[in-house]
């Protein structure tokens, strides 16, 4: 039998439709693979009902009642609540939390006919860039098991890269989809803030969090994204706009692109190999008929400090509900109320989460609010404005996804060095813009990614550009 996991999503859908193989076969294939690759630690939990779901899909396919992604086995980042299943968010705090409801992203993909293989590993509460903060252990990069897959959606990235699922969901607050996609040599898209509902997606920083997709290539990502995007009345920040056919848009042949190159940022790339790769990528674009234009993106250099005020501030409030009272970890024999709070939270949260709660609490405290939070919000608006100015001249902006390739496990000890992992990805979150990372080559066998940032609601444009790049390169198949 051929290696079904190497087929693209589109090929799998066709194979199922033409009954070349069944969803049961495909699902079993993946389950076996997951079992063989256990060492990667990509999954926190597996769905015991995966084969039952696959069987139902096969019955629907037999009756020609299949939905758009019928029978496709996928994996969900363990940040998406699924009814009656464990949803841990990578934390001891929620080690035994069984959600009484499902997230919109899960519901939508379930309604599209996907088979849920299980929940993927992640940095605790999505706070991290290496997947090393997970309570459930580090995830290995399938390209080089001594290295990290990136984070926070490290489990999803490693699962897609190791062909343990057809595609996977992820979330991106400061780069948590794009950076791991780059480290693992796959395609990852974070849509416009508000494009994908946050209902049931456990909050880290509400104004930055956005759900998205890991896939083998831009076309697969387009098809998957079509199935999770859309207005949701349960999320007040959800955008009430019709979702265009991303897949069709991605395939359009004559779409014109003017790609902006922020020269101030590119000139500052420290690693020459990364810089060279970036220029080689520009050449590939040019060869495929894409126009390129140098631009100036102002204030982008402040993105990292702004992010590390706003994200911790929001997380400090978002994580207050984990108090040991109603759900989640609760300490043994609390003496009194304060003891219950203090020990439950001290025991339930890991170091990185505690660090960020403390930073956030500090930034919001009386006397510091104006200097930190309010100032950060002002600069955030300036960054947004810089992008808006740029989009008057160009249709998308190209940047590296990350300043480096994947690093070895436990090799980064300095937190600021770790935070700098997201230096190129954070600006899109601050502005709420859609962004995609696609493979652009390798340094010493380790993948590199480039990133396209688009204007609001222009995911179709980004996917089209990415598809064009992938038609003229082979990095995504390596």
Partner 1 sequence: MNNTWESVIGLEVHVQLSTESKIFSNAPTKFGQTQNSQASLVDLGLPGVLPVLNEKTIEMAIKFGCAINANISSKAIFARKNYFYPDLPKGYQISQLDDPIVGEGKISIEIDNEEKFIGITRAHLEEDAGKSLHDKYENLSAIDLNRAGTPLLEIVSEPDLRSAKEAVAYLKKIHSIITFLEISDGNMSQGSMRCDANVSIRKYGDKEFGNRTELKNINSFRFVEKAIDYEIARQIEIIENGGSIYQETRLYDANKNETRSMRSKEHANDYRYFPDPDLIPITISKEKIQEIEKSLPELPEQKIVRFIKDYKISEYESKNLNASRELSNFFEKVAKKISSPDLAAKWILGDLMAILNKNNSEIQDSKISSEDMINLLCKIEEGSLSGPGAKKIIELCWSSNESIDNLIKKEGLDEVKGEDEILKIISRILEDNPKQHEQYLNGKDKLFGFFVGQVMKETKGSADPKLVNKLLNKKLKQ
C-alpha distances (whole Å) from 384 to each of 266, 387, 426, 427 are: 19, 5, 12, 8
Query: Phi, psi at residue 311, to the nearest 5°?
Result: -65, -50
**Segment near partner 1 (CB under 8 A), from 64-72, 79-87, 126-134, 182-190?**
79-87
- The catalytic residue among 152, 156, 238, 303 is 152
- Does 207 bind partner 1 (CB under 8 A)? Our answer is yes
Q: Least CB distance from residue 236 to partner 1, whole Å? A: 5
Distance CA 281, CA 90 (A): 35
Considering only CA atoms, give the Rg of the chain.
21
Torsion of CA 448, 121, 425, 194, to 10 degrees: 130
| Residue 273 is a catalytic residue | no
Q: Least CB distance from residue 206 to partner 1, whole Å? A: 4
- β-strands 115-120, 168-171 pairing: unpaired
**Segment near partner 1 (CB under 8 A), from 87-95, 180-188, 241-249, 256-264?**
87-95
**Residues 464, 225 contacting (CB under 8 angstroms):** no
Q: Which residue has the tokens 């758009």?
A: 68
Which residue among 280, 327, 379, 403 contacts partner 1 (CB under 8 A)? Answer: 327
Cis amide prior to 86 (ω within 30 degrees): no
Q: Which is nearer to partner 1, 247 or 372 (CB)?
A: 372
- Does 373 bind partner 1 (CB under 8 A)? Our answer is yes
Q: Least CB distance from residue 113 to partner 1, whole Å? A: 23
Q: Which is nearer to partner 1, 205 or 269 (CB)?
A: 205
- Does 370 bind partner 1 (CB under 8 A)? Our answer is no
Which residue among 206, 288, 301, 472 contacts partner 1 (CB under 8 A)? Answer: 206
Distance CA 142, CA 410 (A): 17
**Segment near partner 1 (CB under 8 A), from 41-49, 92-100, 174-182, 287-295?**
92-100
Distance CA 349, CA 330 (A): 11
Q: Residue count at the site for partner 1 (CB under 8 A)?
A: 44
Q: Which is nearer to partner 1, 258 or 374 (CB)?
A: 374
| Residue 270 is a catalytic residue | no
Q: Which residue has the tokens 């390596």?
A: 478
Write out the two tokens for 398: 């190209």
Which residue among 292, 317, 379, 443 contacts partner 1 (CB under 8 A)? Answer: 317
Q: Which is nearer to partner 1, 85 or 464 (CB)?
A: 85
DSSP structural state of residue 371: I
Type and span of the H or E element at 116: strand 115-120
- The catalytic residue among 77, 119, 190, 468 is 77
The residues, ordered by sequence, that sit 6+ positions from 14 with a Cβ below 8 Å of its Cβ are 20
Write out the two tokens for 206: 């509400």
Q: Least CB distance from residue 389 to partner 1, whole Å? A: 24
Which residue among 35, 36, 65, 101 contacts partner 1 (CB under 8 A)? Answer: 101
Q: Least CB distance from residue 74 to partner 1, whole Å? A: 19
Q: Which residue has the tokens 């390169």?
A: 473
Residue 330, classified by CB atoms within 10 Å of its CB into exposed (0-12), middle (13-18) or buried (19+), is middle
- Does 302 bind partner 1 (CB under 8 A)? Our answer is no
- Does 325 bind partner 1 (CB under 8 A)? Our answer is yes
> Could you tell me which of 350, 466, 435, 409 has the C-alpha nearest to residue 174?
435
| Residue 320 is a catalytic residue | no
- The catalytic residue among 176, 197, 406, 466 is 176
Q: Which is nearer to partner 1, 190 or 476 (CB)?
A: 190
Contacts to partner 1 by CB under 8 A: 80-81, 87, 89, 94, 97, 99-101, 103, 198-203, 205-207, 233-237, 313-314, 316-317, 319-323, 325-327, 337, 341, 361, 364-366, 369, 373
Which active-site residues does the annotation give?
Answer: 77, 152, 176
């Amino acid at each position: 039998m051929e290696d079904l996991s190497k087929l693209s999503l589109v090929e799998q859908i066709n194979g199922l439709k033409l009954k070349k193989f069944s969803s049961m076969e495909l699902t079993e294939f993946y389950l076996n693979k997951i079992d063989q690759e256990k060492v990667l630690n990509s999954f926190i939990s597996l769905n015991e009902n995966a084969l039952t779901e696959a069987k139902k899909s096969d019955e629907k396919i037999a009756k020609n009642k299949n939905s758009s992604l019928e029978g496709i086995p996928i994996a969900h980042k363990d940040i998406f609540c699924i009814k009656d299943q464990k949803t841990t968010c990578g934390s001891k705090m929620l080690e035994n939390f069984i959600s009484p409801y499902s997230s919109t992203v899960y519901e939508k993909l379930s309604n599209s006919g996907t088979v849920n293989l299980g929940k993927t590993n992640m940095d605790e509460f999505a706070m991290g860039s290496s997947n090393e903060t997970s309570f459930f252990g580090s995830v290995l990069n399938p390209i080089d098991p001594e290295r990290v897959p990136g984070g926070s959606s490290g489990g999803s990235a490693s699962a897609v890269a190791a062909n343990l699922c057809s595609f996977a969901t992820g979330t991106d607050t400061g780069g948590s989809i794009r950076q791991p996609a780059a480290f693992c040599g796959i395609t990852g898209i974070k849509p416009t803030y508000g494009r994908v509902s946050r209902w049931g997606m456990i909050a880290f920083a509400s104004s930055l969090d956005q759900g998205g997709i890991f896939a083998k290539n831009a076309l697969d990502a387009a098809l998957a994204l079509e199935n999770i995007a859309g207005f949701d009345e349960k999320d007040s920040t959800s955008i009430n706009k019709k979702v265009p056919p991303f897949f069709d848009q991605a395939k359009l042949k004559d779409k014109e692109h003017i790609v902006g190159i922020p020269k101030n940022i590119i000139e500052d790339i420290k690693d020459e190999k990364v810089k060279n790769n970036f220029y080689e990528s520009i050449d590939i674009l040019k060869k495929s008929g894409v126009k390129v234009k140098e631009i100036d993106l102002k204030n982008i250099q402040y993105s990292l400090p702004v992010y590390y005020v706003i994200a911790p501030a929001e997380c400090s409030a978002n994580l207050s509900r984990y108090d040991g009272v109603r759900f989640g970890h609760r300490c043994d024999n609390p003496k009194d109320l304060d003891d219950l709070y203090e020990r439950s939270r001290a025991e339930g949260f890991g170091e990185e989460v505690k660090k960020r709660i403390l930073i956030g609490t500090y930034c919001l405290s009386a006397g510091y609010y104006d200097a930190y939070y309010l100032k950060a919000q002002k600069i955030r608006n300036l960054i947004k404005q810089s992008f808006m100015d740029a989009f008057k001249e160009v249709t998308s902006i190209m940047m590296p996804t990350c300043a480096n390739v994947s690093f070895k496990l436990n090799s980064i000890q300095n937190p600021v060095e770790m935070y700098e992992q997201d230096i190129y990805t954070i600006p899109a979150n601050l502005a709420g813009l859609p962004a995609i990372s696609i493979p652009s080559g390798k340094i010493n066998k380790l993948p590199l990614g480039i990133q396209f940032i688009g204007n609001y609601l222009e995911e179709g444009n980004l996917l089209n550009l990415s598809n064009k790049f992938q038609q003229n390169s082979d990095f995504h198949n390596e």
